[in-house]
Every structure is written in C-alpha cells, then in structure tokens.
Amino acid sequence: MRAFFLAAALLVSLPLAAAEPALVLFVTVDQLRGDTPWRLRDRFGEGGFRYLMDRGAVYADAHFRHSMTKTGPGHATLFTGSGPAGHGLVSNDWFDRELGRDVNCVEDTASPLLGNLPDEAAKDPHSGRSPRRLTASTIGDELVLASAGRSRVFAASLKDRGAIVPAGRKGKAWWYEKTAGEFVSSRFYFTQLPGWVTAWNQARPAHGFLGGEWTLMHPRESYRALDMDDRPFEKMRGTLGRTFPHPLGDRPGPEFYTALRYSPMADELLLDFVEEMMRQEQ
C-alpha cells in the first residue's frame, strides 16, 4: 500500500467571484500507477477512490508522452499541460553546463528556506527553493491571470517539488521538512512564514504519532504480495525497518520525523496542515 501514501500534493484555488466555484482541488499521489486502483477496488470503502471511480469521470487511456516519469517532470506536465521540452523540468536533477554541477529541478540559491531548519540545511547555499526553473505557466497561474488576481493558489506536499511545481509562480507553497518534522517554505513566497504556519508548527502535531506503527489493514494472509514484504534492496527509512509492522519510534528527532515522512500517517499530517491552511487563508 506504500504507493498510495508515499506522497501527496494538494493545490487549492479560492476564486472570490460568487459565480465561480468556491474551491478547485488537485490531488497528486506519488508513484500511484494507473492500474493500481482498479486492482485494489474491492479493498476500498465507500468514500475516497471508490467514490471517484463510481461517480467521477475516469480517464482510462491517459498517458505521459515523456519517458522520464519522475516526480519533477510529472508534476510539471500535469499542471502545465506541456512536456519537459516546454516546461523545462527534464528530470528531478540534471547537470547544468553553465554551473558545472548537478542541480535540483526546484533549486534556487536566491530563495533561501524559511522555517525551523537544521544548521546544515540553513547554511547550504543550494538548499533554496522556488519554481524559477519552470518555464511554462501552470493552471494556477492561469486562474490568477483569468480572474485579474482574485483567485488565490496554495500548494502543500510532503516533498518540496510536490508543492513548488503545482503552486507555479503565482501561488504559495509549503512542504514537509523531514529533519525537523515541520512545514517550511522559501523567500520566493514570503519574507517570513505566516503566523498560522508558525503556530501550527509550534503545536508539534507530528508528535501525535510518537509510538505509532504502520500496520496492515487486513489479515496478513489476504495480501497477494505477501512474499514481497522483506527484500534485501529496500532502503531503510528512519526507524521503519523493512517488514510490517513498521515502528515510527517513540523519541522526537530526525529518525522519527523521517520515518513518519515515509508512512501513511504523513498523509494525515499533510491533510491536517491543508485543513488549517484553508481555514486561515479564506
């Protein structure tokens, strides 16, 4: 089930004109292959994916035209409608000939990070983030232009690029910092974090998951890929280990915050942040 919960990015646009929809919501699930929801259909409850599959418009023959199906170019293609040649994000990272080094797709040395950061991240000149490398307009950018600035666009994600690319140049973006367990942003968007973000971070909602475990939802023998639970090539993420149940740990710190980031509970944390964002930014 990790493919469902690894990352989620949400784009929220709030047009002020009464005749327009009050809310447009865009949810992207990292690593969710198109056929996976259909294979797991019988496992879903009445809401969520099952609701969308039964009552929504489903595009069963939609494809990317580019081969580099990483998250940077993927988000950019979804939100701009263009391919990498048009939006400029050819991968998550690439070699910049002018700089003579690898660069991240949302790297921007002119936009330092804002938030509670470890010393190494705060001092790293390459840790700055913005959408400056994105060369095409996003749907959020176009909403702002079409409404003469009345629409407001916000994005939040567990990954920096999962928020920055969807937010485009006209929106605001926040993302989870897995060494601090808080949401951060950059000076491209703000001179300082909004007060509600600081207050949310100071409440330490991530600590509500201390001592938790990522467990199976159904009886172990009911899973088709039961023999895939322990693989020698799996990466170790914080305290999670390789097999179910995955313990998050019971001590605050980078190991716990990292383990949380790679568990389904991180999506609960993200949704809590987004709900607070919608309350505060109406």
Examine residue 97 and state whether it is found in any structural domain, yes or no.
yes
Which one-letter DSSP state was computed for residue 193? Answer: -
Segments of the chain with pLDDT less than 50: 1-8
Residue indicated by tokens 């964002």:
277
Domain count of the chain?
1
Longest dimension (CA), the chain: 56
Q: Which two tokens stand for residue 142?
A: 């176009």
Examine residue 44 and state whether it is found in any structural domain, yes or no.
no
Examine residue 55 and state whether it is found in any structural domain, yes or no.
no
CA pair distance 187, 112, nearest whole angstrom: 6
Range of the domain at 7: 2-32+64-207+273-280
Examine residue 232 and state whether it is found in any structural domain, yes or no.
no
Q: How would you write 116-159 as a 3-class SS string?
A: CCCHHHHHCHHHCECCCCCCCCCHHHHHHHHCCCCCCEEEEECC
Instruction: Write down the pLDDT at residue 224.
Output: 84
Examine residue 51 and state whether it is found in any structural domain, yes or no.
no
| CATH number of residue 97's parent domain | 3.40.720.10
Is 189 within 8 Å of 173 (Cβ atoms)?
yes
Long-range contacts of residues 117-123, Cβ cutoff 8 Å, at least 24 apart: 117/177, 117/179, 117/180, 117/184, 118/179, 118/180, 118/254, 121/177, 121/179
pLDDT tens per residue across span 155-186: 999 999 999 999 999 999 999 999 899 999 99
- Beta-carbon count within 10 A of 125 CB: 9
Q: Which two tokens stand for residue 236?
A: 């170790």
Examine residue 12 and state whether it is found in any structural domain, yes or no.
yes
Instruction: Write down the pLDDT at residue 8.
Output: 47
What predicted TM-score, i.e. pTM, was given to this entire model?
Answer: 0.91
pLDDT tens per residue across span 252-277: 999 999 999 999 999 999 999 999 99
Examine residue 249 and state whether it is found in any structural domain, yes or no.
no
Examine residue 160 and state whether it is found in any structural domain, yes or no.
yes
